[in-house]
Amino acid sequence: MIVNLEIVTDVQNIGRRDFTVAEKALVNPTNPACIIDGEFVSLNQDYQLVRSLAGVLGFAVWAEKGRFDVQAIGKLTVLMLGPYEADTRVFLSGGSLALGAPLSISNTVDMHDGAGAVRSGLAGTTASQLVIGYVTRMPTNNGGRPRFLKTLG
């Protein structure tokens, strides 16, 4: 199984919450556009999860693609409260990633997994956008996955 988000810090200190997904098709593993672990989601006006848009506050999904409990109840677990450090595969490659650089959410991440789906992940940013974290380890030194410290949320 491919792990898209690997938490490096202790999990006990991270506030996790389960929220209903606004569109049930997004938790169906046969849907090429299904939400995957490590992708960022946001809450809509009905307090349900939707795929994050660029520049908004989002939360990382901490539930693997294809879990039966997620499909049955239509809820995803997100990492909501507290800072944490993690390695991710859901990021905009070729962007302005640099050690210590600020990160925001981008909804133009292509995982190059053959599904052709566009994901919501992390990307290098400028101070004018909503900064949710910082690069703490470069993909070139970490098996192709950047490590980040999430600070907002």
Q: What does the pLDDT read at residue 1?
A: 67
Distance from C-alpha of 149 to C-alpha of 130, rounded to nearest angstrom: 15
Q: What is the pTM of this model?
A: 0.89
Sequence-separated (6 or more) residues with CB below 8 Å from residue 65: 29, 34, 35, 36, 37
pLDDT digits (tens, 9 = 90+) for 76-126: 999 999 999 999 988 887 667 889 989 888 887 766 555 556 778 888 887
Find, among 60, 51, 44, 76, the residue nearest to 11 by Cα. 60
Find, among 67, 88, 63, the residue nearest to 77 by Cα. 63
User: How many structural domains are present in the chain?
Assistant: 1
The predicted model gives 43-57 an average pLDDT of 92
Q: Residue 130's domain is classified under what CATH number?
A: 2.40.300
Range of the domain at 101: 5-150
Vertex 58: Cα angle to 55 and 109 (nearest 5)? 65
